[in-house]
Structure 1
Amino acid sequence: MTSTPYTVADVMTTKVVAVTPSTGFKDIATAMERWKVTALPVIEGEGRVVGVVSEADLLPKEEFHEHRPGLIEQMRRLGDTAKAGSTTAETMMTTPAVTIRPDATLPQAARLMAERHIKRLPVVDGDGTLKGIVSRADLLKVFLRTDEELSAEVRRTVIDRLFPLSHEAVKVTVAQGIATLTGQVRDGNLIPLAERLTRSVEGVVDVHCRLDAPAEA
């Protein structure tokens, strides 16, 4: 009934800065600073993602720079103390990498980021080859669609299809992403569905449904 939902491929960044397992600590830190990113995918071979190295993976080097952790602290934080002594991406990266496919929907990507507490995801194909990267900011791009675009899509994919006989009596307006439906339709049973489908249009912030139908005799 609705248009095809936006996917990760629609909003991802295709020019990705990546490192290899042998990339050194300073080169990783330099790349993060130069490209203003907080994490880098680690690739090998033809671009297969084998891990991700982030600022959090680099911080133990600074944390333990001035003091050596005691035995108890070493036991409690084995991962961090090991990374403090690491010099390459291979020994610092988080693996396996949390990745997502290009055809995943934006809600799926947002849910995965929230569940794993991460800000960006490498986008890979079926072979695990890097195709892009998607960030939290990328997921918000759909909310940059103009009110005119949203209004046209709501009318085309919801109103015209649900109410083929009375669609001309329905007015669709969108202001600041908030869609308002007004008018009279023949089948009142479809009004809740119209509201739900309008709300599902990518970029719609909220819906005010003011449709009504003739009272049954």
Structure 2
Amino acid sequence: MDNNIHEEISDEDLIAALKETKTYCDISTEDLKKIYATAFKHAKSRIVSKIRVRDVMNEKVVAVQKFDDINKAAMILSEGNISGLPVVDKENRVIGIISEADVLSMMGARRGHTFKDIINHLFGEPMPERRMGDLVGDIMTAPAVTIRPDVDISEAAKLMDEKRIRRLPVIDGDSRLIGIISRRDIVRAIIRK
């Protein structure tokens, strides 16, 4: 169904539809338009909630290990034009994420302090500082925020929004990396539906 069809329905279309039902309906065309628009919104939401992470995730995931050199990770990020990589152990279990922000923090560029950082600092915790080290494990963000393949994409989008991240490693029941889903993947899935 065309996404804009509800905007193209005219009063004449609604009057014709009401006449065609051959039953008495005490409803105005304006009320009918509101009901249709609301039903259309609910239908779109229902359709999107049926799309699972496994349906849109990318199974070809580039990952690094915590003992890899930071330069290797930085090169993969740069050459692949991606903003973050899952960090896995030898059994392919996700243990962290290394992002462009992590690499920049190593170079001395501070991350913007969040409201949570400031509150924690007021209670005696130190502010996040520059990270040092030569290995991915020295600067990665851990633990990684992950998601399961059977979750619907609206939950994935909500999690990304709450955590202010762009991608989620997809893991199986043993926390092994099986894919990755990004905000872009979710937007494409919604557009296709």
Question: Which consecutive unaligned segments of at least 5 residues does structure 1 have?
Answer: 65-74, 146-202, 204-217
Give 1:76 deviation, angstroms. Answer: 4.7
1:111 corresponds to 2:166: no
**Between 96-105 and 135-144, the greater mean CA deviation after superposition:** 135-144
8 A Cα contact 2:106 2:139, kept in partner: no
Which of the numbers 79, 93, 96 marks the counterpart of 2:143? 96
Matched, 1:130 2:168: no
1:37 paired with 2:79, answer: no
Q: Determine the structure 1 residue equivalent to 2:93.
A: 48
* 1:80 aligned residue (113, 117, 129): 129
Q: Which amino acid aligns with 2:106?
A: K
In the alignment, structure 2 segments of 5+ residues that lack a partner are 1-45, 110-124
Question: Per-residue displacement from partner, 1:177-204 (whole Å, max 9, x unpaired)?
Answer: xxxxxxxxxxxxxxxxxxxxxxxxxx3x
Query: Which protein is richer in helix relative to its size?
Result: 2
Percent identity, aligned pairs only, is 39
Helix, strand or coil at the partner of 1:132: strand
Partner of 2:117: none
**Larger strand fraction of residues:** 1
- Alignment partners' CA distance in 2, 1:143 and 1:95: 30
CA root-mean-square deviation: 2.0
If the length of structure 1 is used for normalisation, what is the TM-score?
A: 0.57
**Which structure would you say has the larger RCO, counting Cα contacts within 8 Å and 6 or more residues apart?**
2
Give TM-score scaled by structure 2 length.
0.64
Amino acid at match of 1:47: N
Find the partner of 2:62 among 6, 13, 17: 17
